[in-house]
Structure 1
Amino acid sequence: MRMEKQRKGVRLVLLPLPFQGHINPMLQLANILYSKGFSITIIHTTFNPPNPLNYPHFTFCPIQDGITDSSSLDLLHLIILLNIRCVTPFRDMLAKVISDARDNKEIVACLISDALFYFTQAVSNTFELPRIVLRTSGISSFVPFLLFPLLIERGYIPIQDSQLEETVTEIPPLKVKDLPLIDTKEPEKYYKELSNLVEGTKASCGVIWNSFEDLESSPLSYLRQEFQIPFFPIGPFHKYSSSSSSSSSSSSSLLTQDQSCISWLDRHKPNSVIYVSFGSLAAITAAKFMEIAWGLASSMHPFLWVIRKGMVIDDGKECLDPPFPAGFIDNLEGRGYIVKWAPQQEVLAHKAVGAFWTHCGWNSTLESICEGVPMICMPFFTDQKVNARYVSSVWKIGVQFEGEVKREEVVKMIRGLIEGNNKEGSQIRERVLDLKEKARVSWNHGGSSYTYLDALVNFILSFEPKR
Structure 2
Amino acid sequence: MGTTSSQDFSTLNQPNIINYHKVILFPLPFQGHMNSMLQLAQILHSQGFSVTVLHIRYNPPRPSDHPGFDFHPVDVPSPVAELEAVEGDTMALISLLNVTCVVPFRESLENLMGESSDGGDHVACLITDICWHFTQAIADEVGIPRMVLRTTSIGSISAFSAVSRLQKNGLLPLPESQIEEVIPEVAPLRWKDLPIVPTRNPKDFFRLLADIDRATKACAGLISNSFEELEEVKLAESRRSIPIPFFLIGPFHKRFPSSSTPVAGKLLQDQSCIAWLDKQSPKSTIYVSFGSIASIDERDFLEIVRGLANSGVPFLWVVRPGSVRGHEWLVTLPPGLLEGKGHIVKWAPQREVLAHPSVGAFWTHNGWNSTTEAICEGVPMLSSPMFGDQRVNARHVSDVWRVGIHLEGLLGRDEIANGIGRLMGDSSSSKEREEMMKRVMDLKMKVDGCLKPGGSSYKSLQKLTCYLFSSCQPEKL
Please tell me the TM-score bracket, short chain as reference: over 0.9
Per-residue CA deviation, residues 404-451 of structure 1 (Å, 9 max, x unaligned), is 211112111112222364222221111111111111111111100110
Secondary structure at the counterpart of residue 380 of structure 1 = coil
| Of 164, 187, 209, the match for 1:194 | 209
Secondary structure at the counterpart of residue 54 of structure 2 = strand
| Of 57, 64, 70, the match for 1:53 | 64
Per-residue CA deviation, residues 346-380 of structure 1 (Å, 9 max, x unaligned), is 11111111111000100100111001100000011
- Residue 148 of structure 1 and its aligned partner are, at CA, apart by 2.8
The 5 Å alignment of 1:415-434 reads 415-419=421-425, 421=427, 422=429, 423-434=431-442
Is contact 1:207-1:232 (8 Å) kept? yes
The equivalent of 1:247 in structure 2 is 260
The equivalent of 2:352 in structure 1 is 346
The yes-or-no answer on 1:71 pairing with 2:71 is no
Is contact 1:296-1:303 (8 Å) kept? yes
| Of 309, 326, 335, the match for 1:327 | 335
Secondary structure at the counterpart of residue 197 of structure 2 = coil
- Counterpart of 2:420, as a letter, is I
- Residue 104 of structure 1 and its aligned partner are, at CA, apart by 3.4
The equivalent of 2:276 in structure 1 is 264
Is contact 2:283-2:358 (8 Å) kept? yes
The equivalent of 2:404 in structure 1 is 398
| Of 446, 463, 475, the match for 1:438 | 446
Mapped to 1, the partners of 2:300 and 2:106 lie a distance apart of 45
Mapped to 2, the partners of 1:154 and 1:79 lie a distance apart of 25
The 5 Å alignment of 1:232-311 reads 232-241=247-256, 244-249=257-262, 251-311=263-323
- Counterpart of 1:384, as a letter, is Q
The 5 Å alignment of 1:340-379 reads 340-379=346-385
- Residue 464 of structure 1 and its aligned partner are, at CA, apart by 7.5
Secondary structure at the counterpart of residue 375 of structure 2 = helix
TM-score by length of 2: 0.92
Deviates more, 1:92-101 or 1:362-371: 92-101
Mapped to 2, the partners of 1:247 and 1:461 lie a distance apart of 26
The equivalent of 1:221 in structure 2 is 236
Mapped to 1, the partners of 2:299 and 2:314 lie a distance apart of 22
The yes-or-no answer on 1:412 pairing with 2:418 is yes
- Counterpart of 1:164, as a letter, is I
Secondary structure at the counterpart of residue 188 of structure 2 = coil
Would you say how many aligned residue pairs link Structure 1 and Structure 2? 456
Relative distance call for 1:417 and 1:246 in structure 2 (3 A) is farther
Relative distance call for 1:94 and 1:269 in structure 2 (3 A) is same
- Residue 31 of structure 1 and its aligned partner are, at CA, apart by 0.5
Relative distance call for 1:214 and 1:123 in structure 2 (3 A) is same
- Counterpart of 2:321, as a letter, is K
The 5 Å alignment of 1:106-255 reads 106-241=121-256, 244-249=257-262, 251-255=263-267
Secondary structure at the counterpart of residue 34 of structure 2 = helix
The equivalent of 1:96 in structure 2 is 111
Secondary structure at the counterpart of residue 117 of structure 2 = helix
Mapped to 1, the partners of 2:382 and 2:472 lie a distance apart of 48
Mapped to 1, the partners of 2:390 and 2:369 lie a distance apart of 10
- Counterpart of 1:336, as a letter, is G
Mapped to 2, the partners of 1:414 and 1:246 lie a distance apart of 30
- Residue 154 of structure 1 and its aligned partner are, at CA, apart by 4.7
Relative distance call for 1:464 and 1:450 in structure 2 (3 A) is closer
Is contact 1:417-1:426 (8 Å) kept? no
Mapped to 1, the partners of 2:35 and 2:472 lie a distance apart of 30
- RMSD after superposition: 1.7
Is contact 1:156-1:176 (8 Å) kept? no
- Residue 145 of structure 1 and its aligned partner are, at CA, apart by 1.4
| Percent identity for Structure 1 against Structure 2 | 46
The equivalent of 2:457 in structure 1 is 449
Relative distance call for 1:154 and 1:87 in structure 2 (3 A) is closer
Secondary structure at the counterpart of residue 439 of structure 1 = helix
Mapped to 2, the partners of 1:254 and 1:213 lie a distance apart of 33
- Residue 16 of structure 1 and its aligned partner are, at CA, apart by 0.3
Which runs of 5 or more structure 1 residues have no equivalent in the other structure? none
Relative distance call for 1:379 and 1:63 in structure 2 (3 A) is same
- Residue 254 of structure 1 and its aligned partner are, at CA, apart by 3.3
TM-score by length of 1: 0.94
Mapped to 1, the partners of 2:181 and 2:40 lie a distance apart of 38
Mapped to 2, the partners of 1:38 and 1:259 lie a distance apart of 34
Secondary structure at the counterpart of residue 126 of structure 2 = strand
Is contact 2:271-2:348 (8 Å) kept? yes
- Residue 403 of structure 1 and its aligned partner are, at CA, apart by 4.1
- Residue 301 of structure 1 and its aligned partner are, at CA, apart by 1.4
Is contact 1:266-1:352 (8 Å) kept? yes
- Counterpart of 1:431, as a letter, is R
Mapped to 1, the partners of 2:368 and 2:328 lie a distance apart of 28
